[in-house]
Amino acid sequence: MPCLNKRRSREERQKGFTLIELLVVMIILSLLAAFVGTDFFKHIGTSKQKAAKAQIELFSTALDSFRLSVGRYPTTAEGMEALRKNPGTDLWDGPYLRKEVPMDPWGRPYIYTCPGEHGDYDLVSLGADGQEGGEGENADVVSWK
C-alpha cells in the first residue's frame, strides 16, 4: 500500500503546470498582444474617418431624395431630423432614413447647414479633436470634398 500512495502523488504532481511554465506562457502572450495591438490601433483613426465619409455619403443620398420629393433641402432649423419626421409639408414622402440619425464615429452630432457655404448644404464631422480644421485623425470630414 505505501508504494501505491507514492505513485499516485507523483502522478498527481505531474498532471498540472508549474508556476514557471504558466509565467512563460503569459509572457509570450503579452509580447504577442503588444506587437499585434500597437499595429491594430494605428488603423483605428483612419477607419473612423472612412466611416464618417461613408455616413455622410448615405446622408447625401437621403437629402437628395428629400429634395426630389419636397423640392428643397431641409432648412438648418429642420435639420437632419426632417429625413425621419415630416417637417410639416404635404410633399414629404419619407422617412428617408430607416433609423435615427447616428452620431459621428467620435460620438458627436454631424453639423448640417442649409444653405451651405460650399453648396446647397454643408454636412460636417469635426474629426477626433471636435474642432474645425486639423490633420490626420483630427481632420474634418465634409460633404463637399
What is the pLDDT at residue 15? 66
* Site of grid cell 415630416: 86
Q: Which residue has the higher pLDDT, 131 or 106?
A: 106
Chain centre to alpha carbon of residue 84: 21
State the Cα–Cα distance between residues 30 and 75, nearest whole angstrom.
53
C-alpha cell at position 9: 502523488
Of the listed ranges 5-14, 62-71, 77-86, 131-140, the one predicted with least confidence: 5-14
Of the listed ranges 61-70, 95-104, 130-139, the one predicted with least confidence: 130-139
Split at pLDDT 50, 70, 90, the class of 2 is low
Query: What type of residue sits at position 4?
Result: L
pTM reported for the whole predicted model: 0.67
C-alpha cell at position 27: 509572457
Domain ranges of the chain: 2-42, 46-142
Contact status, residue 132 vs residue 111, Cβ threshold 8 Å: no
pLDDT tens digits, 104-120: 999 999 999 999 999 99
The CATH code of domain 46-142 reads 3.30.700.10
Question: Mean pLDDT, to the nearest integer, of 62-83?
Answer: 94
Split at pLDDT 50, 70, 90, the class of 38 is low
State the pairing for strand pair 141-142/122-125: antiparallel
Of 121, 80, 120, the closest CA to residue 104 belongs to 80
